[in-house]
Amino acid sequence: MLLLALESSCDETAAAVVRDGREVLSNIISSQIDLHAVYGGVVPELASRRHLEVINPLVDEALQRAGITAGDLEGVAVTSGPGLTGALLVGVSFAKAFAYALNIPFIGVHHIEAHIQAIRLEQEVAYPFLGAAVSGGHTHLYRVDGIGSYRLLGRTIDDAAGEAFDKVAKMLGLGYPGGPLIDKLAVRYDSGEIKFPRPLLNRTNHDFSFSGLKTAVLSYIQGLPQPLSEQQVGQVASAFQQAAVDVLTAKTLRAAQREELERIVVAGGVACNSGLRQRFADLTAGSGIQVYFPKPLLCADNAAMIAVAADYYLSHGKRSGFDLNAVSSWPLEQVSL
């Protein structure tokens, strides 16, 4: 099917045209980083307004770049949750109106299912696999048996990994979003003598915690004479990333082993992290476990990923109705074909 896909769950407005859930004809992203940077985080009301301003021209451009017209489309896919309600509603309302005008089906997609299934735009990964969603709002491990089939194995009990990256970056005065900035510093600096805790590393369950790590970083920073030198900032960033990466990789691999899963798909914005990618590669070399990462553009929020599960659902006769609503909180286990 030839689908228009839309994403507006947080601070990126994105539109894509994808054929058969696989072939990306266009995939464009309008980021709101400039808008929220001064506040050090996403301001929901501003996010919704910006989505509203850009969605029309963005869709036009996605169609144009794909070399098609609206009349060629066979369906519309949209993120309907989880995320910021006002932001989601922009995409959901647009999708309904667009589909109504063209008399084609539309479907609401779970944002985290889209992150996990994004890998299919690049390669097949056989089921079952372990899906690790590490992003601004999630640090969740799932057993994935197919599109529409997820079982939660473990999750963060407080902050998400991306949230911790962003907050630590803010403490260090680095700017927003912090993940890529910490990543860059961790490439340039080592952690020196600094060693932060690895929360829940030795617990037998598959849950994560990042709030204590964040507090440990804050107390460490507050114990230093101000302002920090460039090297101190680099070392703190590096030590924090090492702690986060250690816990993420160790616990994900342990969960895969316990569940006897030989394939791991790591997805979401934090999956861009170079330290995380490297450590997974090091730890699994020669182990028989295969770790897959979508390319960075497909790890971060984008609309092409929304088309993957949507194409499968629509092709199997599933549709959303005009009563489709934005759902801010929506456990992935509840999705089904």
> Could you say which residues in the range 53-82 bind ligand ATP, by CB under 6 A?
none
Distance CA 337, CA 334 (A): 10
Task: Give the number of residues written for the chain.
Answer: 337
Is 111 annotated among the ligand-binding residues?
Answer: yes
The answer to whether the beta carbons of residues 247 and 161 sit under 8 Å apart is no
Contacting range for ligand ATP; rule: CB under 6 A; set: 16-24, 116-124, 172-180, 257-265:
172-180
Interface with ligand ATP (CB under 6 A), residue from 36, 138, 167, 277 = 138
Q: How far is the CB of 176 from ligand ATP (least distance, A)?
A: 8
Q: Is 91 in the site for ligand ATP (CB under 6 A)?
A: no
Residues that bind Mg ion (CB under 5 A): 10-12, 301
Query: For residues 160 and 264, which CB has a smaller minimum distance to ligand ATP in the complex?
Result: 160
Q: How far is the CB of 104 from Fe ion (least distance, A)?
A: 26
Q: How far is the CB of 103 from Fe ion (least distance, A)?
A: 31
Q: How far is the CB of 100 from ligand ATP (least distance, A)?
A: 27
Question: Burial letters for 17-53: b for 16+ Cβ neighbours within 10 Å, e otherwise?
Answer: bbbebeebbbbbbbebeeebeeeeebbeebbbbbbbe
Query: For residues 115 and 279, which CB has a smaller minimum distance to ligand ATP in the complex?
Result: 115
Q: Is 177 in the site for ligand ATP (CB under 6 A)?
A: yes
Q: Is 273 in the site for ligand ATP (CB under 6 A)?
A: yes
Contacting range for ligand ATP; rule: CB under 6 A; set: 15-23, 56-64, 129-137, 280-288:
129-137
Rg (C-alpha) for the chain, rounded Å, is 20
Interface with Fe ion (CB under 5 A), residue from 159, 183, 301, 311 = 301
Q: How far is the CB of 101 from ligand ATP (least distance, A)?
A: 28
Is 21 annotated among the ligand-binding residues?
Answer: no
Query: For residues 74 and 122, which CB has a smaller minimum distance to Fe ion in the complex?
Result: 122
Query: For residues 183 and 301, which CB has a smaller minimum distance to Fe ion in the complex?
Result: 301
How many residues touch ligand ATP under the rule CB under 6 A: the total is: 24
Contacting range for ligand ATP; rule: CB under 6 A; set: 86-94, 142-150, 209-217, 266-274:
266-274
Q: How far is the CB of 149 from ligand ATP (least distance, A)?
A: 20
Which residues line the annotated binding site for substrate?
133-137, 166, 179, 183, 273
